[in-house]
Structure 1
């Protein structure tokens, strides 16, 4: 009679942490999020979390392997140009890692509004109608004098 043992491997918890730095972060913070994608399949998003008020983030229990960490902005791209660093981490080699500062640059896009010339034809018709209305009493007099002469 032997003793049977069942051994469970305790999986090491993965922790990815860092903080956000950039100009105007106080006003941008509600619009920023940290996005973590797999290097093997960049279209697969592993995690998205809003940037907290402390600007420090921590993500636990990501799958081991290589990941891409990047900031994303929720502001419209037609009004703001947003660029952020792309950091690659390997949670296989180092399951608990602090990526340091994720930095970004943001720039407002100012669109020049081109002045388009006003259409000429409606302007000419409008002036003609006003001239016609103003000259109505004279036209009436001319008509009556022409009818009276015949």
Structure 2
């Protein structure tokens, strides 16, 4: 947020927008962040732009999630998992995207057999979720699901 403020103070509004978009991608459901962004833009006479950025970001994440869920429900678990992996790569700090990615990867492995690369990604994403939000209930549930999946395939590592 400090970088976005500095950009505005240096009349680098386009760069500020890039920074803000990145912040929003990784924390799309953080109401405190949205309020700070709105305040920053309001201070510089661009409140409407802040609201538009927030709305666009939320809509794109919802659309991505809906597309992946649609793929999974139609039986394309691999496609859903790949879509979520790309999203997690683009939004490495977005807990909701990370949770959905782990869920998709575990669902794939439980239906189609152990997938070493994807299970390693699941483990890495679970660690990232824990680092970002140690008490996240869904993260804790997915850690248990991961443990049971390893146990199911007799993986001890």
The bucket for the TM-score relative to the shorter chain is under 0.3
Structure having the higher strand fraction is: 1
TM-score normalised by structure 2 residue count = 0.19
- Pick 1 or 2: higher relative contact order, CA cutoff 8 A, min separation 6: 1
TM-score normalised by structure 1 residue count = 0.20
